[in-house]
Amino acid sequence: MDINYLLMLQNFREATGGLLDAFMELITKLGETSTIVFFIGIVYWGINKKQGIFLMFSLYANRIVNGFIKITACAYRPWIRDARVTPVPEAKADATGYSFPSGHTANAVSVWGGLALNTKDGVKCPKWFRVVLIILLLMIGFSRNYLGVHTPQDVVVAFIIGAVTLFLMAKLMSAVDKRPNMDLWVMLGGVALCALLILYAALKSYPVDYAADGSVIVEGSKMAVDSFKNAGMGIGFFVGWFIERRFINFSTDRSNTENIIRLIFCVLTYTILDNLSGSAVSALMGAGMGEGFAKALMQFVCVFYFVAGAPAIVKLFSKFFVKNGK
């Protein structure tokens, strides 16, 4: 039934000559981790730090859960399950790892849904914009089906994961606000979960299926790379969040000029680091490190810089100029 639904959407795409393909590709990009992280950076560095932290908690919690479920279920992508399914090529190129559940959809619920919550200390969204955000996250989920890269169950379960992590992270942040020293245990618990994900991804066995010519259809070790990346992101976030909270403590309750300067510096330097990470991964793999571990390490570096490194540099420069009367 799920494949028939995808084939129905595929028939519509073909009958309309791909009329909506470009639009759906644009919508689906709003659920990509890179797009989501860029948006969070704008909020975190330049608008409302606390809202940014909440969105990061929600995002990286769902990435960790997603990583565990993907390599446990080991569900193949729709076009592997049924050769009749022909996804949109651009979407297929970005559809890495196992299929179940949809990471884009969970990202959308965690972040766009998190912004729509309109929390007490967060960015205040007018009611009409909250409705727009909810429609957007629903469209992102649908776009994954329309483009042929996820089944309906991939999307539905991802909605549930996103909603649950959103609720739990809101409760967790509220608990940390009431008991500030709890941050150490949150950090240690988060790092432990991520370390467990890395061990699980590295040591578990993966299903092996063969094509008619005897070749392996899907290499489990390749499919697990996304779980390594998710774990690296999670460690970078939890460690960075703790260090920033205890030792840096920058604030967005400053002048617009200061916030804009911080935002520009952080965006530029993070973008440079992120672009260099691919070359760094290749170098690490050339030195004998496995792809999964190499990508986990670079995700740790990038996210740690995002959360703590860039704000620390800006704050140090700010203190230097104030000290020297400039």
CB 161 within 8 A of CB 62: yes
For the purposes of burial, counting CB atoms within 10 Å of the CB of 284, is it exposed (0-12), middle (13-18) or buried (19 or more)?
Answer: middle
Q: Say if residue 77's pLDDT is above 90.
A: yes
**312 vs 254, which has greater pLDDT?**
312
Answer with the residue of higher pLDDT: 211 or 7: 7
Residue 210 bridge partners (DSSP): 216
Beta bridge partners of 216: 210
Query: Which of 250, 254, 253, 302 lies closest to 278 in space, CA to CA?
Result: 302
Would you place residue 326 in the very low, low, confident or very high pLDDT band (cuts 50, 70, 90)?
very low
Q: What was the pLDDT predicted at 153? A: 96
- Which pLDDT belongs to residue 132? 92
Which candidate, 77, 121, 78, 81, places its Cα nearest to that of 98? Answer: 77
Collect all residues with Cβ–Cβ distance below 8 Å to 289 and sequence separation of at least 6. 297
> pLDDT at position 40, please?
95
**Angle made by CA atoms 48, 53, 55, in degrees to the nearest 5:** 95
CB atoms within 10 A of CB 289: 15
Q: How many CA atoms lie within 13 A of 117 on its CB side?
A: 22
Q: How far out from the chain centre does Cα 42 lie?
A: 15
**Is the model's pLDDT at 161 over the cut of 50?**
yes
Q: What pLDDT, in 10s, does the model give residues 274-318?
A: 999 999 999 999 999 999 999 999 999 999 999 999 999 998 887
Could you state, in order of their start, the residue ranges of all structural domains in the chain?
A: 2-323
Task: Give the pLDDT score at 325.
Answer: 47
Backbone dihedral angles phi then psi of residue 136, each to the nearest 5 degrees: -60, -45
Indicate if the pLDDT at residue 69 is higher than 70. yes
User: CB-hemisphere CA count at 13 Å for 12?
Assistant: 12
3-state DSSP assignment of residue 321:
helix
Over residues 244-252, mean pLDDT = 94
The owner of tokens 């774990």 is 231
Q: Which amino acid is at 273?
A: L
Helices 225-243 and 183-203: angle between axes, nearest 10 degrees: 160
Indicate the average pLDDT of the chain: 91
